[in-house]
Structure 1
């Protein structure tokens, strides 16, 4: 595999970024240890720091609300179909 065009697994990126956040070693030391350019490690670290707050946001409430809206819409459709079905039974 070409050294310049490697695709790293997300778990690897996360592990390296966490090491960079700990600041026990410099980015250059981490780059030598993991075989990744220090600038790339810095980008992964920055990306991790930017995305951390979203890990703790309450997305579950938003999806629950959307689920309730979908459920209400489906119940409405079921009711309408029942009425139509009964009307068709009476007509025939």
Structure 2
């Protein structure tokens, strides 16, 4: 079984900001960074929620 990948907060923020920018689709961003699309969407949603707080 593969070991789970650990991502730094900086990497998560980078992906979330790319997704928020809207230049590319979340699917394209996830593929670029070798992530599952749901992971990129989750980080984007968390960034939005934190900005509203």
Q: Does 1:53 align with 2:35?
A: no
Match of 1:67 in 2: none
Gapped regions of structure 2 (runs ≥ 5): none
Give the TM-score of the pair, scaled to structure 2. Answer: 0.87
The count of residues paired between Structure 1 and Structure 2 equals 52
Give 1:52 deviation, angstroms: 1.0
Give the TM-score of the pair, scaled to structure 1. Answer: 0.53
Greater Rg over alpha carbons, structure: 1
Which stretches of structure 1, 4 residues or more, deviate above 3 A after TM superposition? none
Q: Following the alignment from structure 2 to structure 1, what is the Cα–Cα distance between the partners of residues 47 and 35?
A: 17
Q: Does 1:18 align with 2:17?
A: yes
Gapped regions of structure 1 (runs ≥ 5): 55-92
Higher RCO (CA 8 Å, separation ≥ 6 residues): 2
